Amino acid sequence: MFLVAVTARSLSMTVNVVVTDMDGTFLDDAKQYDRVRFMAQYQELKKRNIEFVVASGNQYYQLISFFPELKDEISFVAENGALVYEHGKQLFHGELTQHESRIVIGELLKDKQLNFVACGLKSAYVSKNAPETFVALMAKHYHRLQPVNDYHDIDDILFKFSLNLPDEQIPLVIDKLHVSLDGIMKPVTSGFGFIDLIIPGLHKANGISRLLKRWNRSPQNVVAIGDS
């Protein structure tokens, strides 16, 4: 898949970075991929000095679980751009002030039917009172997920919040959060019933741009594979 895309683009340009999304793109419906085939493809990318980047809304610790043998070789734009790792080393992370975090948490807690995860540098956090089905779902995307009695007591750098709710409720919730959190966080849909609250400007494209600047490589030389 990747070599086909690279070869096609190489007919008219030089490709030196391949970026892929995970859910619905790199992974199949069972959240797996052909590891033997990919390793062979990855070795070809290395021979051509092509960087491989995973860009996803999911947690960094979840993403590296798919690439245990490569986590220090490839790069990751995790948490929808709020956390960037280059070859096993943290390059960038976003950060809400404590005041901003309290505003966001307070706003989300106003709706007693709304369940959410607070995403931080060390871990993600979910209320001890959240439904088991919600916790089980979020644990698939956040491998470091800690229960908390009170979101306000979290001792971590927070940079994203993630919600999951029925599709028919999403437009109304997004409209409300656009107004109540204007200038602090931006609500975006990420598919599969998820809404992510991101720091304005900290999205996947921003994270990818940080890596390209680091490598002195141009967006014109990037093959991006994914639905967002």
List of domains in the chain: 2-93+203-225 (3.40.50.1000), 98-198 (3.30.1240.10)
pLDDT in tens, the chain (228 residues): 444 455 444 434 689 999 998 887 888 788 889 899 999 999 999 999 999 999 999 999 999 999 999 999 999 999 999 999 999 999 999 999 999 999 999 999 999 999 999 999 999 999 999 999 999 999 999 999 999 999 999 999 999 999 999 999 999 999 999 999 999 999 999 778 999 999 999 999 999 999 999 999 999 999 998 765
Give me the pLDDT at residue 183, please: 94
DSSP calls for 131-143? -HHHHHHHHHH-S
Contact, 108 vs 125, CB < 8 A? no
pTM given for the model: 0.91
- On the CB side of 72, CA atoms within 13 Å amount to 1
Of 27, 2, 61, residue with least CA distance to 191: 27
Any idea which residues carry the catalytic annotation?
21
Give me the pLDDT at residue 71, please: 97
First-to-last alpha carbon distance for the chain, in angstroms, is 18
Of 224, 225, 193, 198, residue with least CA distance to 79: 198
d(CA 164, CA 70): 30
